[in-house]
């Protein structure tokens, strides 16, 4: 019956509209844009998806909604309905099967926005997967417009989910609707604010930039150098913020299940996105990293369903992406719950390709062995195909990483999985720093990494397992060998340091003997000049008394 309707619709459309290739491509582009926007709106309402199924309980639901903005929720549902309606129109010209799925989505979004249905996790998940299916159909149409597509099973799944949702709310619809109405009256403020958000970059940001440029011009004309410098920094900061956008991770929600299926596996992607903002160039490099690491997680990491069951795992493998930031870094973590990395295989490939010798291997730590994955020619793949086995992908990851002053820590556990933790230094940020002096050298240290300063008694230091240490608060704190770390000629050092700065990091505490504290202030951290980029202990540079000063990355120093 469905296929008959599709043919009838197709004939009607063919008579009504003549589509040349150019028009098809234009409509296809519109449909893809609308599907992406629809997906983004579905994700925006995911946090409102009630985890319970079965019978509706208003009290539990009220607790679940505590501190959640229902006005935003229903405004996003309204926008989602509009986007899906537009998507349905575009798909109708190209692939009626996708149009029918859009129509089914509307059967869900309409009662949701009219308070006749509750958004549950089951329904939220189905909405997202249906958009993915529509995107798959559009991709297939691009490759082969005459390809046969069936959506009968999807139509049935959506109908069943809708029936479950209606059963869930059952006779409580009136109470639920009244409850929602009492908590979501906003007189259009959310809609107005949403409009202003769309204008914020194109209008507000550039107007501010223009005003600051004018101020800078007049300031320079009067030769007020200090004010000009301040305005110039504001100008740069505004310009940088205008270029920054959040990253779109939605493509991977389709890539991972499809790639897993290609290898006879099942996979689910979990995303924790803190809406970090950066410019497009950085996100392009991040996509390069994600493409290779996620493929490795599916191809090398995850086991097949029967193997996972035998190991006591769920048949569906879990892969997770977490994107976050701190004051200085953009942080990206990618993890899976698969078999872990086969370090023996890495060593075998590295030895066979003469990347390392057996003598070097004997002195290598596990971290150094895992870092061999980034060397071209090293792969843990058992066979060669279009996606893996050449040992090139992770080398491309390293290049993208180094381009943005990034580093990676790999953690693996046999039979449990592995994770990649990437950290990228932000450019043009300000930090509360302490400027210290050691001999004739000046360095800046972020205050967050400073625990305390104490008087340094050179004869109070002692050796612990061949590590020079100092007693602090009843425990031994290792001392940094300044000469070795900063590559200073021993003969140039007088060794008359009188203070000890206790530094703290995720790795623990350490001490650094210094001469003096010169300055304490919020200071702009600028990108490292190229000559310093090969030295991993520097975050960036700042300016102290018109002189560039390196900012120390205490995490790497320790």
Tell whether 250 is covered by a domain: no
Average pLDDT over the chain, rounded to an integer: 80
**Is the separation of the CB atoms in 342 and 380 below 8 Å?**
yes
Q: Check residue 471 and give left, alpha or beta (phi > 0: left; psi -120 to 50: alpha).
A: beta
Q: Are residues 294 and 399 in the same domain?
A: yes
Poorest-pLDDT segment among 79-88, 108-117, 323-332, 392-401? 392-401
CB contact at 8 A, 3 and 59: no
Domain final residue pick, 371, 404, 425: 425
Q: What value, to the nearest 5°, has the Cα angle with vertex 149 and ends 261 and 97?
A: 120
- Judgement on whether residues 292 and 434 belong to the same structural domain of the protein: no
Length of the chain: 558
Task: Please check the confidence at residue 15 and state whether its pLDDT lies above 50.
Answer: no
Residue 18 confidence class, pLDDT cut points 50, 70, 90: very low
- Give 370's DSSP letter: H
In a domain, 508, yes or no: yes
**Residue 249 covered by a domain:** no
Greater model confidence, 392 or 95: 95
What are the tens digits of pLDDT across the range 484-521?
777 666 555 566 778 899 998 877 889 898 888 988 87
For residue 257, pLDDT over 80 is answered with yes
Q: How many domains does the chain have?
A: 4
pLDDT higher than threshold 90 for residue 415: yes
- Do 373 and 491 have their domain in common? no
Angular region, 254: left φ>0, alpha ψ -120 to 50, beta rest: alpha
* Band (61; pLDDT cuts 50, 70, 90): confident
Contact 9, 93 (CB under 8 A): no
pLDDT of 12 over the 90 cut: no
* Position with higher pLDDT, 390 vs 242: 242
Residues 437, 442, 447: CA angle, nearest 5 degrees: 80
**pLDDT of residue 208 exceeding 70:** no
Q: Is the pLDDT of residue 299 over 70?
A: yes
pLDDT of 196 > 90? The answer is no
For the residues 61-75, what does the mean pLDDT come to?
Answer: 80
Q: Which domain holds residue 488?
A: 429-557
103/236 same-domain check: no
Give the residue among 473, 539, 541 at the shortest CA–CA distance from 508.
473
- CA 558 – CA 549 distance, rounded (Å): 20
> Percentage of the chain with pLDDT > 90?
16
pLDDT of residue 321: 95
Question: Would you report the helix, strand and coil content of the chain in percent, each value rounded to 5?
Answer: 55, 20, 25
535 has a pLDDT exceeding 80: no
- Lowest mean pLDDT, pick from 32-36, 41-45, 70-74, 152-156: 70-74
The tokens for 63 are: 């607790």
pLDDT, greater one: 13 or 31: 31
pLDDT at 402 over 90: no
SS3 track for 287-316: HHHHHHHHHHHHHHHCCCHHHHHHCCCCCC
Q: At which residue do the structure tokens 């980034």 appear?
A: 374
Say whether both 53 and 124 belong to one domain. yes
Asked whether residue 413 is domain-assigned, the answer is yes
Within this chain, do residues 386 and 398 fall inside the same structural domain, yes or no? yes
Token readout for 552 is 């120390």
Is 515:442 a contact under the CB 8 Å cutoff? no
pLDDT of residue 210 exceeding 70, the answer is no
* Same domain membership, residue 164 and residue 110: yes
Q: How far is CA 100 from the centre of its chain?
A: 33
Residue 79 lies in a domain: yes
pLDDT, mean of residues 543-558: 82
521 and 444 in a common domain: yes
Position of tokens 């990347």?
Answer: 355
Does residue 253 form part of some domain? no
């Amino acid at each position: 019956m469905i296929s008959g309707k599709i043919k009838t619709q197709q004939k009607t459309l063919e008579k009504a509209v003549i589509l040349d290739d150019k028009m098809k491509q234009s409509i296809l582009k519109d449909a893809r844009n609308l599907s992406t926007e629809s997906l983004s709106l579905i994700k925006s309402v995911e946090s409102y998806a009630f985890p319970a199924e079965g019978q509706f309980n208003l009290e539990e639901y009220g607790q679940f909604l505590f501190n959640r903005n229902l006005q935003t929720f229903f405004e996003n549902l309204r926008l989602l309905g509009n986007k899906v309606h537009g998507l349905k129109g575009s798909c109708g010209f190209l692939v009626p099967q996708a149009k029918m799925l859009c129509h089914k989505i509307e059967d869900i979004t309409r009662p949701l926005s009219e308070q006749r249905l509750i958004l549950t996790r089951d329904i939220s998940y189905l909405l997202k997967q249906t958009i993915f299916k529509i995107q798959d159909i559009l991709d297939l149409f691009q490759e082969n417009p005459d390809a046969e597509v069936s959506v009968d099973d999807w139509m049935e799944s959506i109908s069943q989910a809708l029936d479950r949702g209606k059963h869930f709310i059952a006779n409580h619809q009136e109470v639920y609707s009244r409850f929602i109405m009492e908590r979501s009256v906003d007189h259009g403020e959310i809609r107005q604010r949403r409009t202003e958000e769309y204008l914020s970059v194109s209008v507000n940001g550039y107007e501010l930039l223009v005003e600051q440029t004018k101020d800078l011009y007049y300031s320079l004309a009067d030769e007020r150098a200090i004010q000009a410098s301040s305005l110039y920094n504001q100008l740069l900061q505004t310009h940088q913020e205008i270029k920054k956008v959040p990253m779109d991770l939605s493509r991977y929600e389709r890539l991972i299940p499809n790639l897993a299926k290609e290898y006879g596996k099942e996979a689910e992607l979990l995303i924790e996105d803190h809406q970090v903002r950066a410019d497009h160039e950085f996100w392009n490099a991040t996509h390069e990293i994600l493409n290779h690491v996620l493929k490795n997680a599916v191809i090398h990491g995850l086991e097949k369903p029967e193997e996972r069951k035998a190991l006591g795992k769920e048949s569906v493998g879990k892969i997770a992406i977490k994107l976050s930031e701190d004051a200085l870094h953009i942080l990206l973590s990618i993890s899976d719950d698969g078999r872990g990395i086969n370090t023996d295989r890495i060593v075998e490939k590295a030895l066979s390709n003469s990347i390392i010798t057996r003598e070097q291997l004997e002195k290598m730590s596990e971290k150094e062995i895992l870092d061999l994955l980034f060397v071209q020619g090293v792969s843990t793949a058992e066979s060669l195909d279009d996606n893996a086995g050449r040992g090139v992908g992770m080398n491309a990851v390293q290049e993208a990483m180094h381009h943005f002053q990034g580093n990676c820590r790999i953690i693996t556990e046999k039979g449990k999985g592995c994770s990649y933790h990437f950290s990228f230094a932000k450019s043009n940020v300000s930090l509360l720093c302490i400027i210290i002096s050691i001999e004739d050298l000046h360095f800046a240290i972020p205050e967050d990494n400073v625990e305390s300063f104490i008087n340094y008694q050179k004869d109070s230091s002692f050796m612990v397992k061949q590590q020079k240490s100092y007693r602090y608060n009843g425990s031994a704190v290792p001392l940094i060998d300044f000469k070795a770390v900063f590559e200073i000629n021993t003969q140039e050092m007088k060794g008359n340091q009188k203070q000890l700065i206790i530094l703290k990091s995720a790795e623990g505490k350490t001490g650094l003997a210094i001469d003096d504290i010169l300055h304490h202030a919020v200071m702009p951290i600028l990108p490292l000049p190229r000559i310093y980029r090969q030295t991993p202990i520097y975050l960036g540079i700042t300016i102290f008394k018109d002189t560039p000063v390196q900012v120390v990355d205490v995490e790497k120093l320790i």
